Copies of this chain bind each other. A is one copy, B any other.
């Protein structure tokens, strides 16, 4: 078997943890597998480097920031190879130049274009564990790039795809993917398997286990992902194309408190107005999520939508600046709201799922503000103080617990 294993920064934060990871990889190696390990920078290294840069130049170019930040992973991979060597196992560290991890030119937020497998394969053929820097690429100018948030997951998946690996294991601080956040829903159950599409809906909904981009890439190249804990030996959750049908319609419940609602009141009830509002926001990089438009009345209508809480000030400022052009009479907002979503590939062929969710919320006395659906997801906006109760109610309503 060829296994790619990815460990985050906290898993290699100090000597003890480095050796823990080294031993875990060596077990797989000694069992006869080819092993590639992808690492992030140790602990807070990236933040420390960023602080140094900010001290020198608060407006440093992303090109130079990437040149600086990529040292973080190079330190962790070389120390990891040394640790493995000291345990008697041949290992070699490689950076983005050595592997030839070609990325787009965009500094700070690059995407992979092509990953050469030749060097890694050569080292695997010489029976070495190969330890590769995550998070970084090299662009057409022969400059370092970084991949943005969750980048090391993407590196692991991209390498697994290039090498046609049998499995890509993402080690995190949780056991796997749960039917709901176990801190809120005590009887939440760990899923054995989940499909790429379900995982994508969950990832974008705030279940911060896997980054969306890595799941998208895994889906595209058919890389089987395993999400497991770096702290224990439990089996984890397998993310793959088709999961064996479980009895459940719904795989999981996710919540996101980082959301706020904006209402624009009394806009002209004629074509193109809604387009202009969302176009104005999009041009300022503000992502709009759930949208609800009222039926027109007296020649005007109201539109409500949600944005990330971090964007609320910018969004309101932009709308105020364009109030007249957009024919807005009044702008209202509410920050103490939260999203609750259920995700499940099974709901596509089962029309009663939404009603079942609303019933569970009604029985728990939770008021629904807004509703949005996709083929395999139903999201509702509720008051933030209701969210935990709502989550437990829906989780129980679908019988997801143990």
A residues sitting closer than 8 Å to B (CB atoms) are 15, 18, 49, 52-53, 55-57, 59-61, 63-65, 67-68, 70-71, 74-75, 77-79, 81-83, 85-86, 92-93, 95, 97-98, 119, 142-143
Contact = CB atoms under 8 A, between A and B. Distances in A.
Nearest to A19: B56
Given A98-B143, A142-B119, A143-B98, A56 B74 contact: no
A133 B326 CA distance: 53
Nearest to A84: B57
Contacts of A56: 15, 18, 79, 82-83, 86
B97 A142 contact: yes
Given A83-B57, A85-B61, A67 B71 contact: no
27 contacts: A18-B56, A49-B75, A52-B75, A53-B79, A56-B79, A56-B82, A56-B83, A57-B82, A57-B83, A57-B86, A59-B86, A60-B85, A61-B82, A63-B92, A64-B78, A64-B81, A64-B85, A64-B92, A65-B78, A67-B74, A67-B93, A68-B79, A68-B82, A97-B97, A97-B142, A98-B142, A119-B142
A22 to B, nearest CB: 9
A68 B74 contact: yes
A60 B80 CA distance: 11
Given A64-B85, A64-B93, 13 more contacts: A18-B56, A53-B78, A57-B83, A57-B86, A59-B85, A59-B86, A61-B82, A61-B85, A64-B78, A64-B81, A64-B82, A70-B74, A71-B75
Contacts of A60: 82, 85-86
Contacts of A83: 56-57
Contacts of A85: 57, 59-61, 64
A239 to B, nearest CB: 32
Contacts of A81: 64, 67
Contacts of A86: 56-57, 59-60
A119 B143 CA distance: 11
A82 B92 CA distance: 32
Contacts of A63: 92
A353 B70 CA distance: 57
Nearest to A99: B142
A13 to B, nearest CB: 13
A15 B55 contact: yes
A52 B74 CA distance: 13
A38 to B, nearest CB: 16
A315 B302 CA distance: 92
A143 B85 CA distance: 17
